[in-house]
Structure 1
């Protein structure tokens, strides 16, 4: 059994899988974990962790970051549940946590609806309400029309709130999965079975959760020298490492070969289901406003936030799916179904920046534009075999294997650690206090600046 301090640190690291902590702060927690265990670290790991943890909030004079340390959480139905408990006698007061639980919210709507003769889904104010005679027949003769209408309207609003909550919770999960794969879904017991495994997963997830920077070049790579040092500890003790847990976030062939076929199949099924869910989100965004597919430059009316979150999640899920298929020896499936990658939408100013610096559209954009849409492929409406993808890649002189169009992503090389910048709408700012002022003033947001904040600056 781990000591109370080790248990506490493992809990904090596990909690970070659903938060957005800076990698430096996670490195600091990993340092504390090894110190609490009395672990003698090799020089490479000790140096790498010290280099990162030096810039943790605990070690900075201001101890502050202007950026949220959590993914945006949808507003729950706590207020509506409290109102329901006052209006309906058979609805008890519930804890705040119930407002974030769709199942409990739906149960309340159904129970309260039964008390006024309303079935779940009956939301038409003109045709679904009971008239006086129907209310009397349902035993509601003592309830005035005004009180009945008040309860009916509340339940109708609660159903609409429930639909929004489910949608926003789904979007939050999609965002986390796009950046950190299945880290957020790892149960504590699996995560904490081996401290070295926990340390690697927590750090590489924090790196994946980093925000995108406004740039015309490549984004910062996830796998850095700190992650490499922590992974070397897994290599040194393969019999203690929980490779199945690692496969949730780092699906290299070296990791997957150590996972049983049963566990690989479990992951494959999970990723397959997630691909279908994300394809529905992509299709919904597309149907609301079809994109300029040949350029993928944002136009007025495009839902770029939803599309980019879903595209990132699709590409992450697709990469894991390809890697597991390859490890299971099932690559022949790609001969029949080989869905393509999905590019993110690009802002017009970034596209202009690319052109001015001598660049242009990424070749992947041209390939995407010629392949069938992902949701059409998954539903079997259009065929997208590996041969088609290879032919389109050849037309644009792209290696389909190196470009991960028909094969798993190549294993990443470790990059040098760089401290996490303070970002204001993607633009790096040196000081977090200045970043807070710039954000409140609306700088870099494309919106009008508020006068008071502008004057302060």
Structure 2
């Protein structure tokens, strides 16, 4: 029974489920381990959720977008190439790469050599390669192979973006192996619930987003504190709080430091690419026409989450003097113009973090060694902007001491909270709050 519960909870780590939907399996998993007050608190949270959403379902998808596969392209390839097609149920990049090498070898082509003018074989080269194909049939296969390579590259990029989207929400939780997740029931319960809280969608608001560490997460974390079998290494992947990191060995702390830095390198490269083709207004970070705000914001989120974890590991290793030489700054998200206008109408202005962001070197330039950004540089920029450099997370990991009240997951339509899932679906289908002309619906 527990094995099935653990498998089901682990499967949620790379999806977007409502945290309250995990309370019942968590209660079952922790049966006999919870005190009576804790059991009543979980039951109360479940009851609040049912009262807030008596329909028992949500109009929002329970997963993050996954890229479309290559089934259609491979189906066509199967009629033109003799190489055995990958099993459509187990297709991954390794299988696709192996298939492309075998299929393209049939026409004397190498993967990556897809220029139609430079890389095709002429008649003499085809004869030397022993290809008994007409020019038309050869060109047909060459073009298809080139399309397969482009599709594969697009899928690779979309998979990378999905991975970084998950990291931007819950750090390394989605990469946690089942063996580490399932080693301890209390550990698994906390990780599953806290990850689900991290995955809750952002709301259209100027009051700040709800913190993922709420009363239920705190209750489950207290269970971990009181247990001698808690698997702190697993918790550190999603919740690298100083208290958690102190439970790790020096080797584990160093490994986590390296894993977070590897994410920084991956993210910095993509951020630099997006920045280079965008016309982002650095002084305001308000979206302008042509800005790919979706991609930029997921990359900025992944950068900040990994940077915070990297800094937390530096501090617990007592190695924060590294920041005196290299202290890449945070990355600011792009803000929608209507949200910026809402801030102004409420008497607010630009987030002071924007001033810091616009003064310090860009993160990818720092990692490439093209610019120097030290702790002193960032500290001076924070003070000029009226920010505490440590409390604001610019030169130290952010504090996670505050506990947010439990709140059932709201139904959202383009970030706007709507009371009924049925009404939310109706509004979404009609295009309400999308910023586009309303559509006719059959409702």
Q: State whether TM-score is above 0.5.
A: yes
2: distance between equivalents of 1:57 and 1:112? Answer: 54
Does residue 129 in structure 1 map to residue 125 in structure 2? no
1: distance between equivalents of 2:39 and 2:25? Answer: 13
Q: TM-score, normalised by structure 2?
A: 0.97
Q: Report the CA distance between 1:53 and its aligned residue.
A: 2.5
1: distance between equivalents of 2:109 and 2:151? Answer: 18
Q: Report the CA distance between 1:84 and its aligned residue.
A: 1.9
2: distance between equivalents of 1:62 and 1:418? Answer: 17
Q: TM-score, normalised by structure 1?
A: 0.94
Does residue 157 in structure 1 map to residue 147 in structure 2? yes
Contact 2:267 2:303 in 1 (8 A): yes
Q: Report the CA distance between 1:411 and its aligned residue.
A: 2.4
Counterpart secondary structure, 1:342: coil
2: distance between equivalents of 1:154 and 1:82? Answer: 11
| Corresponding position of 2:232 | 243
**Alignment counterpart, residue 6 of structure 1, candidates 2, 14, 17:** 2
| Corresponding position of 2:95 | 104
2: distance between equivalents of 1:446 and 1:214? Answer: 13
The root-mean-square deviation of aligned C-alpha atoms, in Å, is: 1.6
1: distance between equivalents of 2:77 and 2:121? Answer: 19
Contact 1:335 1:387 in 2 (8 A): yes
Contact 2:173 2:238 in 1 (8 A): yes
Q: Report the CA distance between 1:108 and its aligned residue.
A: 1.1
2: distance between equivalents of 1:438 and 1:321? Answer: 41
| Corresponding position of 1:80 | 73
Q: Report the CA distance between 1:43 and its aligned residue.
A: 3.3
Counterpart secondary structure, 2:389: coil
Counterpart secondary structure, 1:428: strand
Give deviations 1:287-342, integer Å, cap 9, x for gaps: 01131011000001111001100011111001100000000010100111111111
**Alignment counterpart, residue 179 of structure 1, candidates 165, 169, 177:** 169
Q: Relative contact order (alpha carbons < 8 A, sep ≥ 6): 1 or 2 greater?
A: 2
Contiguous gaps of at least 5 residues in structure 2: none
Give deviations 1:385-409, integer Å, cap 9, x for gaps: 1111111111122111111111111
| Corresponding position of 1:271 | 260
Contiguous gaps of at least 5 residues in structure 1: none
**Alignment counterpart, residue 29 of structure 1, candidates 25, 28, 31:** 25
Q: Pick which of 437-446 and 74-83 moved more.
A: 74-83
Matches within 5 A, 1:240-389: 240-389=229-378
| Corresponding position of 2:217 | 227
Question: In structure 2, do the counterparts of structure 1 residues 116 and 98 end up closer, same or farther at CA, with 3 Å as the change threshold?
Answer: farther
| Corresponding position of 1:45 | 38
| Corresponding position of 2:60 | 67
Q: Report the CA distance between 1:121 and its aligned residue.
A: 1.4
Counterpart secondary structure, 1:259: coil
Counterpart secondary structure, 1:248: helix
Equivalenced residue count is 443
